[in-house]
A = this chain, B = another copy of it.
């Protein structure tokens, strides 16, 4: 059976992270040290895509890179870190819930403002 392996360029293309960023992520510990081929080039399995997608989510919710690294490190340590990981995620989850609420409110504010602008434009258009 064929095992799907990827070079760094392919991972970059599939995840949207740049090649530079992927190497940077490995250096800081956000990606585990990658297997290399005979020529010293990184070889990735398909799992890395799942992990990077999750990392992207953590990034999108505003988790600073330091905490993403911390999470990655705990993940690498295995089951003994589960409760600590849960706590970390819980903190960000609660914060995220608040932010989603606040952003929804802002969405309403923007809609109201846009409506006002549309009305104003119409009135100006008619009166001038």
Contact = CB atoms under 8 A, between A and B. Distances in A.
Given A107-B96, A110-B96, A117 B89 contact: yes
A61 interface: yes
A82 B120 contact: yes
A4 interface: no
Interface in A69-128: 79, 82-83, 85-86, 89-90, 92-93, 96-97, 99-100, 102-104, 106-107, 109-111, 113-114, 117-118, 120-121, 124
Nearest to A102: B60
B100 A107 contact: yes
A79 B121 CA distance: 8
Contacts of A120: 79, 82
Contacts of A93: 107, 110-111, 114
Residues of A in contact with B, size category = 20 to 34
A38 to B, nearest CB: 37
Interface string A21-41: 000000000000000000000
B110 A89 contact: yes
B110 A99 contact: no
B57 A121 contact: no
